[in-house]
Amino acid sequence: MADNLLSLMTFFPLLGILILLFLPRDNGGLLKGVTLAVSLITFAISLPLAFDNVFTTSGGMHYREFYQWINIGDFFQMNYNIGVDGISLWLVMLTTFITPITILSTWDAVEKNIKGFMAMLLLLETGMLGAFISLDLFLFYIFWELMLIPMYFLIGIWGGKNRIYAAVKFFIYTAVGSLLMLVAIIFVYYFAQQSGALTNGFGIQELYKLDLPYNAQFWLFLAFGFSFAIKVPMFPLHTWLPDAHTEAPTAGSVILAAVLLKMGTYGYVRFAMPMFPDALPTFIPFLAFLSVVGIIYGSLVAMMQDDIKKLVAYSSVAHLGFVMLGVFAMNLQGLAGGMIQMINHGISTGALFLIVGFLYERRHTRLITEFGGVATKMPIFATIFMIVTFSSIGLPGTNGFVGEFLALMGAFQSGLRWYAVFATTGVILAAVYMLWVYQRVMFGKVTNPENENLKDLSAREIAIMLPLLLFIFWIGIAPNTFFSKMNPAMELMLEQMGADKVAVVEMHQPADGHAAGHTNGHADTNADHQ
Amino acid sequence: MEVILFYLTAIVAIMSAIFVTQCRNPVNSALNLITVFLCLAVYYVMLESPFMAAIQIMVYAGAIVVLIVFVIMLLNLGLAVKERYTHGMAGSGVLAAIVLFVANYFIRYGEATGTGGSVTSEVVASYGHTELIGRAMFVDFLLPFEIASILLLVAIVGAVIISKREV
Amino acid sequence: MYSNLWLIPFFPLIGSIINGLFGKKIKNEAVIGGIATGLMFLSFLVAAQNFFKLLGDKEKVHELVIASWMSVGNFQLNWELLLDPLSAVMIMVVTGVGTLIHLYSIGYMHGDESFYRFFSYLNLFAFAMLMLVLGGNALVMFIGWEGVGLCSYLLIGYYYEKKSASTAANKAFIVNRVGDFGFLCGLFVLFWALAEKGVWTLNFVEIAESGHLLESGGLLITVVTLCFFLGATGKSAQIPLFTWLPDAMEGPTPVSALIHAATMVTAGVYMIGRMNGLFAMAPATMMTIAIVGGLTAFFAATIGLAQNDIKRVLAYSTVSQLGYMFLAMGVGAFSAGIFHLMTHAFFKACLFLGSGSVIHGLHHAYHHAHLHDDPQDMRNMGGIRKKMPITFITFLVSTIAISGIPFFSGFFSKDEILWWSFGSTRGHCLLWVLGAAAAGMTAFYMFRLVFMTFFGEQKTDARAKDHIPESPFTITIPLMVLGFLALIGGYIGVPKILGGANRFHAFLAPVFEHAQHANEIHAHGSHATEYTLMAISVAIAIIGIFTAWVMYVKNPELPGKFVARFAGAHRVIFNKWYIDELYDFVFVNPCKKIGTFLWRGVDVKIVDGVVNGCAWVVKGIGSGLRYTQSGYLYNYAMIMVVGVVLIVGFFVF
Amino acid sequence: MITVNHYLLLSAILFAIGTFGVLTRKNAIVIFMCIEVMLNSVNLTFIALSRHVGNMDGQIFVFFVMTVAAAEAAVGLALMIAFFRNKESIDTDDFNMLKW
C-alpha cells in the first residue's frame, strides 16, 4: 500500500470514472455522490503524506516509484518515475483537498450531462496530481497535456455564454506554450543522449546534473519559461485567464485558479529554474520586471472591472505576480513565500470563486451593479465573504499575509530590491479593488428589487467554505506546519538553482551582481557606508 | 512465336483498355475490362506464373467484374447514360502522356538490380509454381496474410453496413 | 514571572469570538454587553497587575515567547510579547479607557439591531490594539497594526447601509494601507540592512541592541525611519494622510472615542516611541516628523475653526493633537509625546463620549418628536447644560484640559512638548510658534464648541427641545471617570520646574534615555525661558477662550459678520483646504483612468488584439485556401496525379 | 526476344490509359474500372520484375494487391449504391458535397 501510495492516489479518480461509466445517466444524485466519494477517498489516500515527518528531515524525493514504460533501446526511454518532496507535497495536498470541495460546490449548479461533468473533474484531478508528482520530464508533459483536455471541455460545454471563444482561447494559448516545451524537452533529451549523461529516460534528477552550454540553456529556458509563463499567467500572456475564468462553471474556475495556475509556477520551480541555472541570471531581472508589472497591472485592471468574476481573475494575475517575485528572489524566504503563496492563492481565490458562484446561482448575473446591500439579506455570506476578502488583501493573521510578506522580504534581500518596492504598492491596490467591490456588492441599501429575496447560505454551502476558512487562519497563524516540511526541499532546490551564482545578496557580502544591474545604485550606496 | 504472341496480346490489351475508358455504356466497359484481365493472365502464364494467372481470372474476371456488372445492372445505369460522359479530355490526355513519358524514361534508363535470385525457371519447373507461392505465403508472409484476411472481413462487413437502407 | 501577559489580549479575543458566533442567539443586550465589558475589565485587571509588578521591578524589559510563527532558514519569527514601561503605559490606557468605553457603549448602542456585532468588533479591536502595543517584534506589532485598521474599517462601516459610512470605511482602510506600504518597506529595508550585518531579526529588543550597527544619520537609517514614519502618518492621520479621520466619524460615537481618539490613532506615536533608538539616529527623519507634526497641528486646528458638525470638530482636534505628539517625537521629547498621548486619551475620550451623550440625547428627542434633524449639527444645539448637567461638567473639564489651562492634565503634557520644541537640540523656535498658534486655536474652537452646544439659547426645534434627557448611568459613569482622569491625570508628570518629580518621565526613562543620550538629545535653556514660554502659552490659550466667549456668547452675530468679511478664507477652511478634492484629482481619478485604460486599451485592444490578430490571420489564410477544395473528385485525382508525376519526375531526372 | 522492358513498357501504357480514364470519365463505376486497369498494370510490373530478379516476393505482393482490390470493390461499390440511393446518380459531378 505505502509503496504505491502515489500511484494509487493519482489513478484512483480514473477508477472513479470507470465506475461512473456503469451508472445510469439520469440519476444525478447518485453520480454526484459517487464522484464525491471517490474524491474524498483520494483525499484520504493522500492524507498520510501530510503527516509524514520524513519531509521535515530530508529534502529529497520520497515515495518513489520507478517502472520502465516505453523503452526503445538507446533511442528513446521514458519511465514511470514519480515521487514527492516538500515542494510538491503541499500542492498535491491542495489538489486532493480542493477537488471534493469543487464537486460539492457543483451540487445544484450543473444540470446538463452531469455524468460527463463529473468524469471531467475526476480526469482533471488525475492530470493535476500526475503533473505534480512526475519526476520524468516526458511523463510530466503527458500529464500536463492531460489536464488541458478536461478543462477545455469544462469551459466549452458547461461554460457561460461566450464559452466557445474562451475555451478555444484557453486551449490554444496553452497549447502554444506546450508545443514549445515539447520541442525543448526533445532537445534536452537529445543533448543528454549526446553527452551520454542519460541512463534513466527523462529523469529530471539526472537532467539537473546536465551541464549544458550557456547558449543552449538560454534558449531552453526561454522555451520552458514561455510555456510556464502562459500557464502562470504572467503579463502580457494573461489574457486567456479572464475569459476562461469568466466563462468557466464555478467548479472549473475554482480548479483553474486553485491548481492549474500553480502548474506554471511549479514548473518554474521544479523544471525551468533548476535545469538551466546558468541562464537564470540573464532572465531573472526581466521576469521579475514582468512579475511586478503583473502585480500592478492586474490590480489596476481588476479595480475597474464590472464583472465580479473578471475582477477575481485579474486579481489572480496580481497574486501570482507575488508568487513569481518570491520565487525569482532565489533565497529561502522568497521561495518559501512564493510556495506558500501558491497554496494561499489556491485557497483564497478558490474561495472567492466559490463566493461568486453562490451569488451567481442565486441571481444568474455577476455584474457588480446588479447587487448592493446583499449584506442585509445574507449575513453569514457577508461574514465569510469578508474573511476571504481580507485574506485576499493579505491582512496579517490570514494566509495571504504570510505569503506576501515572505515573498517581498525575500525579494528585498535579493537583487530585486527595487522591484520589491513597486510590488509592495500592490498591497495598497489589493485593498482598493477588493474593498471597493465588497462595498458595492454587500453594503448600502437593497436597491435592486431582485435582491430582496436572496437566501442566505445553505448548510452545504457553509460546509464547503468552512475548511477553506480553517486553512485561511491556519496558514496565517501557524504556517510552520507547512514550512517545516518545505524547508529541506527548498534548500536542496536552491542549491540546484545555483542560488549563489545569481546576484543574491548573501549574508556578510554586499551585492556585486552583474545581473542585478538595477539594484547597483542601492547596493553601492550601502557599500559606501561600510 | 513468343514475340508474336506478346505483341498480339499487347494490342488486344491496349485496345480493350482504351475501350474501357471510352465506351459510353458501362456494361461495355466492364466487358472490355474482362478482356484486359484475360490478356494479363496470358502474360502471367508467359512469365511462368500459372497460379497467378488462375487467380487473375478467378478473382478479377470472375469476382470483381461480376460484382461491377451486378451493380451496373442493379442501378440500371446502362440506360441512364448522359449526353456528356467525359470531361477534361485535353488536359488529361497531356497528363497521361506525361505519365507515360516519365515511366518510359524510367524504364529506359533505370536498372533492375538484384537479378539472379534463387527462383529460376528450373526451380519453378521442379517444384511447381503453386508450391512456391504457398511456401512464400504461409511461411514468410504469414502475418500479412492473416492481416489481409482480416482486411477482407472488415471490407465485407463495411460493405454490408454501408449499403444498408438506413444509411 | 510575567507569564500571564498573554491573557491581556486573549480576554477580548475570547469576547469577540463569543459575541461574534453566538451573539445572535444570545440576543439579551445585558448579557452581550456584560460579556464584552467584563472580559475587557478582566484584561484591565491583568494589565494593572502586570503594570504594578513592573513598577516595583528593577528589570524593566520582559519578553514572553508564546510560540514560533514563521521559521524559514535564518529567518525565525515568534509570537512574542514585550512588556516594558512604554507598553505598560499603553496597555493601561487601552484596557482602562477601553473598559470605560465598552461600558458606555452598552448604554449608547441600546436598541441597535446588531448589538452583538458591535461588541464583537469592539472586543476584536481591543485585542488587535493590545497585540499592537504588546508585540515583541515588528511583525506581531504589524498584526495589531493591521488588525486595528481592520476593526476601524468594520466599525466605521458599522452602519453599512449608509453609503457615506461604507465609503468612509473604505477610505480609512485604504489610506491606512498607504501607510502600511511604508511600514512594510521600512520593515524590509531594516531587516535586510541588519541581515547584511549578520543580525537576522525583527525583535524590538534585538533591533534596539544592534541598531548601532547601522551608520548614525546615514542614508539607510533615514530611509528606514522615513518609511516607518509614512506608516505612522497613515495610522495617526498626519499630513499627508490625515483625510480619513474626519470621515471616520461616520462610525458610532464610542468608536470615535476609542479608536479615533484614544487608542488606534496614537499607534503611530507609539511605534515611533517603540523604535526611538532608530529614529534618534536619523536627525533628518526627526526633523521631518517635527515639521509634519507641527504643520498638522496647525492646519487641522484651522479647519476645526469652521466646522459645524460636533464630531468633526473633535476629529480635527484629534488630528491637531496627534500633530502635537508627533512634534514631540520629532524633537526628541519621547516621554512627553507618550505623556500627551495618555492625557489626550483621557480628555479626548471624555469629549467624544460627552458629544456622544449630547447626540444620544438629541437623537432621543428628535425621535420622540418624529423629526429628522441632524443631531450632530451644533447649530441645532445650545443651552443643553441645564438638560444634561453631568455631561456638561465633564465636557467642560475636558475642554479646559485640552486648552492647556494650568493644573488640568493637558497643561502639563502640552507644555512639556512646547518647551522641548523650543529648547531641544532637535527643536527650533519656529516649531514652537506653530505649536503655540495651534494651542491658541485649539482653545478657541473647543470653547466655541462648548459655547455653541451648552450655552446660549436653545436652538433645537421647539417640538423636541423639551424632550432632551440626561443620559443613563452606563453613559455618565464613564464620563465622570474620564473627566476625573482628565482633571488629575497630569499630576503624575508634573515637571521639575513646577516642583514636581515628573515620575512619568522617570518611569519611561529606561526605554528612551539610552537613545537620547547616545544621540545627544536634550532640552536646554534657563528656567526663566521656560517660565516665560509657559506664561505665553497660557496667555494664548486664555485669549483663545476669551475670543470664543466674545464671539459666541456675548455677540452671537459676530461670527456671521466675520465669515462675510473673510468669505474666501472661510470657504477654504470650511472645505478643509480642498485636500480631499486634491487627492481625488491627483491620485484617485488618474488611478481609475489608468485602470480603465489598461483594461480597455492595453488588455482588450493591444494584448488581446495581438492574440486575436494571430487567430484572424490564420483564419484569413484558411478561408482563402479553402476554395482549393472544390469537392470534385476529378480535381483531387488530377492534383494527385500531378503530384505523383512531379515527385517521381524529381527522382528520375 | 521479349525482355522485361517490354512488359514494363506495356504496363506503363496500360497505366497511362487507366489514368486517362480516371481523369476523364464522369461515371463513378467506369472510374472504378479504370482504377482496376491501373492496378493490373502494376501487377504486371510486379510479376515481370519478380521473374526478372528471380524472387517470389513480387508475386506475393500481387496477391495482396488483389486482396485489396477485392476489398475495395466491395466497399467502393457499396458506397456507390449508397450514394445512388441518395442522389439518384453516380455522376462524379454530383459528388461535390465535400467542399469548403
Highest mean pLDDT among A36-45, C202-211, C356-365, C634-643: A36-45
Which residues does A48 contact at the CB level (< 8 Å), separation at least 6?
Answer: A2, A5
B36 and B94 co-located in one domain: yes
Q: Please, are residues C518 and C417 in contact by the beta-carbon 8 Å criterion?
A: no
Record: contact C218-A529, CB cut-off 8 A = yes
Q: Which three cell numbers stand for residue A34?
A: 459517487
Mean pLDDT along residues B63-78: 82
Residue B80 banded pLDDT, cuts 50, 70, 90? low
pLDDT in tens, A276-309: 888 888 888 899 999 999 999 999 999 888 889 9
Nearest to A304 among C71, C595, C611 (CB): C595
pLDDT at A528: 39
Q: Look at strands A62-72 and C75-83 and give their pairing.
A: unpaired
pLDDT at D11: 92
- The answer to whether residue B16 sits within a structural domain is yes
HSE-up of D82 (CA within 13 Å, CB side)?
16
Mean pLDDT along residues A382-386: 91
Residue A514 banded pLDDT, cuts 50, 70, 90? very low
Residue A37 banded pLDDT, cuts 50, 70, 90? very high
Nearest chain D CA: its distance from B156 CA (Å)? 7
> Considering only CB atoms, which chain C residues are within 8 Å of A385?
none
Establish, for the pair of chains A and C, how many residue pairs have beta carbons separated by less than 8 Å: 159
Which residues does D98 contact at the CB level (< 8 Å), separation at least 6?
Answer: C629, C631
pLDDT at B112: 65
Using the Cβ of C631 and the Cβ atoms of chain D, whether some distance falls under 8 Å is answered with yes
Nearest to C652 among B88, B91, B106 (CB): B106
pLDDT in tens, C292-321: 999 999 988 888 888 888 888 888 899 999
- Identify the residue with better confidence: A500 or C347: C347
Mean pLDDT along residues C184-211: 84
Does the pLDDT of residue A508 top 60, yes or no?
no
Nearest chain B CA: its distance from C624 CA (Å)? 25
- Identify the residue with better confidence: C576 or C118: C118
pLDDT at B154: 92
Nearest to A300 among C139, C143, C595 (CB): C595
> Considering only CB atoms, which chain A residues are within 8 Å of C70?
402, 406, 479-480, 483
Record: contact B102-C648, CB cut-off 8 A = yes
One-letter amino acid at A30 equals L
Range of the domain at B97: 1-103
Q: Where are the domains of chain D?
A: 26-94
Neighbours of chain D (3+ CB pairs under 8 A): B, C
Does the pLDDT of residue A515 top 50, yes or no?
no
Summary mean pLDDT of chain A: 85
Does the pLDDT of residue C260 top 90, yes or no?
no
- Identify the residue with better confidence: A204 or A266: A266
B19 and B96 co-located in one domain: yes
Q: Which three cell numbers stand for residue A144?
A: 500536463
Nearest to C627 among D28, D97, D100 (CB): D100
Task: Pick the residue of D20, D23, D42, D93 with the most C CBs within 10 A to test the interface with C by mutation.
Answer: D23
- H or E element in which residue A320 lies: helix A308-328
Residue A92 banded pLDDT, cuts 50, 70, 90? very high
- % of chain C with per-residue pLDDT over 90: 6
- % of chain B with per-residue pLDDT over 70: 91
pLDDT in tens, C452-479: 888 877 777 777 777 777 788 888 888 8
B96 and B130 co-located in one domain: no
Neighbours of chain B (3+ CB pairs under 8 A): C, D
Neighbours of chain C (3+ CB pairs under 8 A): A, B, D
ipTM: 0.77
Record: contact D23-B95, CB cut-off 8 A = yes
Residue B130 banded pLDDT, cuts 50, 70, 90? confident
Record: contact C161-A510, CB cut-off 8 A = no
- Range 93-132 of B in CB contact (< 8 A) with D: 93, 95-97, 99-100, 103-104, 107-108, 112, 114-120, 132
Candidates A139, A212, A107; CA nearest to A463 is A107
pLDDT at D100: 60
Q: Please, are residues C339 and C247 in contact by the beta-carbon 8 Å criterion?
A: no
Does the pLDDT of residue A80 top 80, yes or no?
yes
Neighbours of chain A (3+ CB pairs under 8 A): C
Record: contact A413-C595, CB cut-off 8 A = no
Residue environment code for A118-157, b if the CB has 16+ CB neighbours within 10 A, otherwise e? bbbbbbbbbbbbbbbbbbbbbbbbebbbbbbebbbbbbbb
> Considering only CB atoms, which chain C residues are within 8 Å of A390?
150
pLDDT at A521: 37
Does the pLDDT of residue C500 top 80, yes or no?
no
Does the pLDDT of residue B38 top 90, yes or no?
yes
Nearest to B20 among D5, D33, D69 (CB): D33
- Cα nearest neighbour of D75 on chain B: B159
- The answer to whether residue B8 sits within a structural domain is yes
Establish, for the pair of chains B and D, how many residue pairs have beta carbons separated by less than 8 Å: 230
Using the Cβ of C645 and the Cβ atoms of chain D, whether some distance falls under 8 Å is answered with no
Cis peptide before A236 (omega within 30 of 0): yes
B124 and B52 co-located in one domain: no
Summary mean pLDDT of chain C: 85
Does the pLDDT of residue A520 top 80, yes or no?
no
- H or E element in which residue A165 lies: helix A163-194
Residue environment code for D27-43, b if the CB has 16+ CB neighbours within 10 A, otherwise e? bbbbbbbbbbbbbbbbb
Instruction: Give the CATH number, domain containing residue B73.
Output: 1.20.120.1200
Mean pLDDT along residues A115-139: 90
- The answer to whether residue B114 sits within a structural domain is no
Which residues does A346 contact at the CB level (< 8 Å), separation at least 6?
Answer: A94, A98, A257, A258, A259, A262
Nearest to A239 among C177, C196, C607 (CB): C607
pLDDT at B166: 64
Task: Pick the residue of D7, D59, D60 with the most B CBs within 10 A to test the interface with B by mutation.
Answer: D59
- Cα nearest neighbour of D16 on chain C: C641
Cis peptide before C252 (omega within 30 of 0): no
- The answer to whether residue B20 sits within a structural domain is yes
Using the Cβ of C649 and the Cβ atoms of chain B, whether some distance falls under 8 Å is answered with yes
Candidates C235, C406, C375; CA nearest to C318 is C235
Task: Pick the residue of D7, D9, D29, D49 with the most B CBs within 10 A to test the interface with B by mutation.
Answer: D29
- % of chain A with per-residue pLDDT over 70: 92
Nearest to A300 among C67, C163, C594 (CB): C594
Nearest to D92 among C626, C627, C634 (CB): C634
pLDDT at B108: 79
Mean pLDDT along residues C1-13: 85
pLDDT at A385: 92
Least confidently predicted of A139-148, A493-502, B86-95: A493-502
Class of domain D26-94: mainly alpha
Residue A384 banded pLDDT, cuts 50, 70, 90? very high
Residues C548, C213: Cα–Cα separation, whole Å: 53
DSSP-assigned letter for residue A304: T
- Cα nearest neighbour of B94 on chain C: C642
- Cα nearest neighbour of C194 on chain A: A507
Q: Where are the domains of chain A?
A: 287-530
Angle at alpha carbon of residue C624, lines to C622 and C629, rounded to 5°: 85
Using the Cβ of C635 and the Cβ atoms of chain D, whether some distance falls under 8 Å is answered with no
Using the Cβ of C621 and the Cβ atoms of chain D, whether some distance falls under 8 Å is answered with no
- % of chain B with per-residue pLDDT over 90: 26
Nearest chain C CA: its distance from A508 CA (Å)? 5
pLDDT in tens, D52-87: 888 888 889 998 999 999 898 889 888 888 888 887
Highest mean pLDDT among A150-159, A508-517, C208-217: A150-159
Residue D17 banded pLDDT, cuts 50, 70, 90? very high
Taking the CA atoms of residue C575, residue C579, residue C580 and residue C584 in that order, the dihedral angle to the nearest 10 degrees is 140
Please count the structural domains in chain B: 2
B44 and B78 co-located in one domain: yes
> Considering only CB atoms, which chain D residues are within 8 Å of C638?
23
Record: contact D100-C632, CB cut-off 8 A = no
> Considering only CB atoms, which chain B residues are within 8 Å of D36?
33, 60, 64
Does the pLDDT of residue A421 top 70, yes or no?
yes
Residue environment code for C107-124, b if the CB has 16+ CB neighbours within 10 A, otherwise e? bbbeeeebbbbbbbbbbb
